Homo-oligomer: A and B are copies of this chain.
Amino acid sequence: MADTVEVELIVIGAGVAGCTAALYAKRYGLDVVILDKGPPGGQLMTVSLVENYPGFPDGITGVELGQRVRQQVENHGVEIVAREATSIEPYEDGRWLVHSADGDYLAIAIIIATGVFPRSLNAPGEKELRGSGVSYCATCDGFLYRGEVVAVVGGGNTAVEEALYLADICKKVYLIHRRDRLRADPHISRQAIERENIEIIWNSAVDEIAGQTEVESLRLHDTQTGQERLLSVTGVFIAIGTIAHTDWLVGLVELADGFINTDIHMQTNQPGIFAAGDIRNTPLRQVATAIGDAAIAGYSAYQYVSRHRGQEYGDYPEPGPAAAEQP
Residues A39-71 near B (CB distance < 8 A):
51-58, 60, 65, 68-69, 71
A289 at the interface (CB under 8 A from B): yes
0/1 interface trace, chain A 180-214, chain B, CB 8 Å (1 if under): 11100111011001000000101000000000000
| A321 in contact with B186 (CB, 8 Å) | yes
Cα of A60 to Cα of B56 in the assembled complex, Å = 12
Residue of B nearest to A30 (CB): B186
Picked from B20, B180, B327, the residue with its CB within 8 Å of the CB of A200 is: B327
Picked from B180, B289, B320, B325, the residue with its CB within 8 Å of the CB of A283 is: B325
Residues A264-321 near B (CB distance < 8 A):
264-265, 282-284, 286, 288-296, 299-300, 320-321
Separation in Å of the A189 CB from the closest CB of chain B?
A: 6
Interface residues on chain A, number (Cβ under 8 Å)? 58
A23 at the interface (CB under 8 A from B): yes
Residues A94-149 near B (CB distance < 8 A):
none
| B20 in contact with A54 (CB, 8 Å) | yes
A91 at the interface (CB under 8 A from B): no
Residue of B nearest to A187 (CB): B27
Q: Which residues of B contact A290 (CB under 8 A)?
A: 292
| A27 in contact with B69 (CB, 8 Å) | no
Residues of chain A touching chain B, judged by Cβ–Cβ distance below 8 Å, are 16, 19-20, 23-24, 26-29, 51-58, 60, 65, 68-69, 71-72, 75, 180-182, 185-187, 189-190, 193, 200, 202, 264-265, 282-284, 286, 288-296, 299-300, 320-321, 324-327
Q: Which residues of B contact A294 (CB under 8 A)?
A: 54, 288
Q: Which residues of B contact A283 (CB under 8 A)?
A: 264-265, 296, 299-300, 325
| B55 in contact with A55 (CB, 8 Å) | yes
| A190 in contact with B69 (CB, 8 Å) | no
Cα of A202 to Cα of B71 in the assembled complex, Å = 37
Cα of A60 to Cα of B54 in the assembled complex, Å = 13
